[in-house]
Chains A and B, each alone.
Chain A
Amino acid sequence: MRAVGIILAGGNSYRMKELSNKRAIAAMPIAGSYRSIDFALSSMSNSHVQKVAVLTQYNSRSLNEHLSSSKWWDFGRKQGGLFVFPPMQTPDNSFWYRGTADALHQNLNWLKDCHEPYVIIAPGDGIYKLDFNKVLEYHIAKKADVTVVCRELPAGEDVTRFGLLKMNDDCRIEQFEEKPMAAISSTISCGIYVVRRRQLIELIERCGQEGRFDFVKDVLIRYKDVKRIYGYRITSYWNNIASVESYYRTNMDFLKPEVRDYFFRQHPDVYTKIDDLPPAKYNPGCEVKNSLISSGSIINGYVENSVLFKDVFVGENCVVRNCVILNSVYIGDNVHLENCIVESRNTIRPNKSYIGENGPYIVTESGDRYLL
């Protein structure tokens, strides 16, 4: 592959509410076994991108733990590898990453030392599979300066959290607005960009000189009339998890057979860090309907339309309905949970009841496990 990968995984989103209190968005657990950055990393690995940098900042420890070894995504190679770059103090810089373009600017040396002619930039919160070779081919065929991966907005989505764009018949982007109040079109940017490395260095150096920090506002939107910025449409599954709503819905999407088939059974695979957990165990009296259950879980109660992550314990006479239960949650006996997202490592005491009324309710009950 003639490109290096950069994954922007440093941001926080107030839309994630309590869920981002202890982890980066890119480290959000997804679909029982994965974390959201696995999708970008696996797509890069499967597209034979050999060298990938992950730029981290907000709550980076959770992400660093997940990325503690690069072997799970097949990046443990002599050529290339997986690099994690938090902000770094140097004689020239004493700032945190002040934006996406600034994050790139602070790592310009690394980018300059690469020899690959192209760069793929992707966020860490996208849930998708993508062959970057095809995007790169398109980028070259269109003689584009920047190619933006985009798709039609699913009906009923909140437009104001996306970048919206409008293309001409040749797919050149003519209008681009970041998180607008009113929709200019129904085409949204997936935040995945392909750009020639020297071009990117030039653009980012310019941003640095001008004190501009945001890649979308200060590069894509600012240069859209002078540079050839093209859109690459995808129609396959794509979602981002930058809000509680979309996070909940994305997990629930995996209860649909076509989504499971696409991610779990069709080539190529999505990889993740392996936790060595035993198979899931179903005890007498349990009842499970239309749910995803992950390894290490032990089920005694009733579970319906839910996604249970790894190492979850469901006690007797529990009712868990329309819930997303994150890793290592212990649910005591007779607990009733409905429309909830239960934060990882929670211990829910027996006889508790939580029901989400308007949208998913986030349960963060940190009862002490060993006092129960």
Chain B
Amino acid sequence: MIAMLLAGGQGSRLGVLTAKVAKPAVAFGGKYRIIDFPLSNCINSGIDTVGVLTQYQPLRLNTHIGIGIPWDLDRNVGGVTVLPPYEQSGKTEWYTGTANAIYQNLAYMESYNPDYVLILSGDHIYKMDYEVMLEYHKSHHADVSIAVMPVPMQEASRFGIVVTDDKGHITEFQEKPEHPKSNLASMGIYIFNWSVLKESLMTLSEQPNCDFGKHVIPYCFGKGENLVAYEYNGYWKDVGTLGSYWEANMELIDIIPEFNLYEEFWKIYTKNDIIPPQYISGDARISRSLIGDGTEIEGEVMNSVIGCGVRIGKGAVVRDSIVMQGSVIGDGAVLDRTILAENVSVGARAVLGVGENVPNRIKPNVYSFGLAVVGENTVIPAGVRIGKNTAVTGLTVLEDYQDGLLASGETLDKAGVVS
């Protein structure tokens, strides 16, 4: 079995966090990036041939994956291959949909002539043994298996729902139904028999924006292929919104988290750029937090996830926040419910996450949850105050802040990335 990992999406609901990086390359949990989870699942499941389909802002993703050394995917045969869209004689197009992306890489899969193809997306946090799913697929003589998980019935109308008979065979699909007949939501993880996948992609090649959920699966279903649902009951988190991204990070710092990174079994691998240990000074106070390598802390950190190589100055307070790799927080700065992307510099005594919970004026659906979000390489001058539901990017100076304040719900976009 080979795996095809869809990692080309922008993840626009993560706002400025994905302004310069694809969503799978967004940092997570102190030292990881989101794509580490499916990639580690692959190697832990014994899958050593993985095609990673990239499109949106692939630089960080490409450098992270490299030749796959951290995941032991540097192989003589197989290994990891990054597959960007490419120019073709005749019709050239971007990856217009998930299935279209796979279709454009038929030649890659053909070269391995696999029995089965696993389709994954690069933006979920979970541990899953794909080999168990493959066993299930085989034992049910399935043509297509779809991983599903039970969700609360009242939330089922947000998902693509599958209805199964008592043997696990799928009898009906409902896309975001008003009156769901079941609570099994599709996780976007599929195993196809190679012949079935190839045939359906060829048939649907002219379909615009060809998508697995919308086109390929219904096509296979309509053709009478044997579709089965593989029920998964572990931890699975879609970190598609700032709220769920923040929440998933916060869940890691529970005393015994539901999603436990400290288990010897099923390790999550990542590329380590920063090796030295972290230093906690005599003035620091830390509680309920995850802290990455090479970080130096002189301030106070509570309920937070801090990445590698971060510096937190004297008297600074970081509360309920996520700070990614390489950011520097000046002396006396205060962060409440803030997400700092990579290499952000926060000036001394700046205060983030103050004031009322006013909805964001430009993108109320993205910048909500009461979070202050700061894009990568942003500079925040000393002494300013920044409200809730805000987004800040670029090299900002004191003059950008009226009376030294960016009120709740406002957006300060000096990098020009918020459209």
Interface residues of A (CB under 8 A from B): 31-34, 71, 255, 260, 263-264, 269-272, 274, 276, 278-296, 298, 307-309
Contacts and interface: CB of A to CB of B under 8 A. Distances in A.
Contacts of B301: 282
Given A279-B292, A285-B287, A274 B282 contact: no
Given A279-B31, A284-B255, A290 B276 contact: no
Contacts of A263: 276
Contact of B277 (A281, A285, A287, A295): A295
B69 A294 contact: no
Nearest to A279: B30
A61 to B, nearest CB: 21
B253 A281 contact: yes
B249 to A, nearest CB: 11
Interface of B: 29-31, 69-70, 253, 255, 261-262, 267-270, 272, 275-282, 284-294, 296, 301, 305-306, 308
A281 B284 CA distance: 15
B262 A293 contact: no
11 contacts: A33-B276, A33-B293, A263-B276, A269-B275, A278-B29, A279-B261, A281-B289, A281-B291, A291-B280, A307-B277, A308-B277
Contact of B291 (A31, A71, A282, A309): A282
Contacts of A308: 277
B79 to A, nearest CB: 15
A289 B253 contact: no
Contacts of A288: 280, 284, 286
A282 B290 CA distance: 6
Nearest to A293: B278
Given A260-B276, A295-B293, A278 B268 contact: yes
Contact of B267 (A276, A289, A292): A276
Contacts of B305: 279
A236 B358 CA distance: 55
Given A276-B70, A290-B282, A282 B277 contact: no
Contacts of A284: 255, 287-288
Contacts of A264: 276, 294
B69 A280 contact: no
B263 to A, nearest CB: 9
A312 to B, nearest CB: 11
Contacts of A293: 277-280, 291
Given A289-B280, A293-B280, A295-B293, A270 B275 contact: yes
A327 to B, nearest CB: 12
Nearest to B254: A283
Contacts of A271: 275
A285 B286 CA distance: 9
Nearest to B257: A281
B182 to A, nearest CB: 36
A289 B267 CA distance: 30
Contact of A278 (B262, B279, B286, B289): B262
Contacts of B294: 264
A32 B31 contact: no
Nearest to B74: A71
A280 B272 contact: no
A252 to B, nearest CB: 13
A278 B30 contact: yes
A294 B293 contact: yes
A224 B393 CA distance: 65
Contact of B280 (A33, A281, A285, A290): A290
A278 B266 CA distance: 12
Contacts of B255: 283-284
Contacts of A291: 279-280
Nearest to A255: B279
A280 B290 contact: yes
Nearest to A269: B275
Nearest to B285: A287
A258 to B, nearest CB: 12
A283 B288 contact: yes
B165 to A, nearest CB: 41
Centre residue among A271, A276, A308 by max chain B CB count within 10 A: A276
Nearest to A287: B285
B270 A276 contact: yes
A309 B277 CA distance: 8
Contacts of B281: 289-290
Contact of A33 (B275, B282, B287): B275
A269 B278 CA distance: 15
A107 B305 CA distance: 51
Given A260-B276, A292-B280, 15 more contacts: A31-B277, A34-B275, A255-B279, A264-B276, A270-B275, A274-B275, A278-B261, A279-B291, A281-B253, A281-B290, A292-B277, A294-B293, A295-B292, A298-B262, A308-B277
A12 B103 CA distance: 61
A276 B276 contact: no
Contact of A31 (B262, B276, B296): B276
Contacts of A33: 275-277, 293
B179 to A, nearest CB: 42
Given A276-B267, A276-B268, A295-B31, A282 B276 contact: no
Nearest to B280: A288
B276 A32 contact: yes
Nearest to B296: A260
Contacts of A296: 262
Contacts of A280: 278, 290-292
A318 B275 CA distance: 27
A31 B234 CA distance: 37
A251 B8 CA distance: 45
Nearest to A305: B282
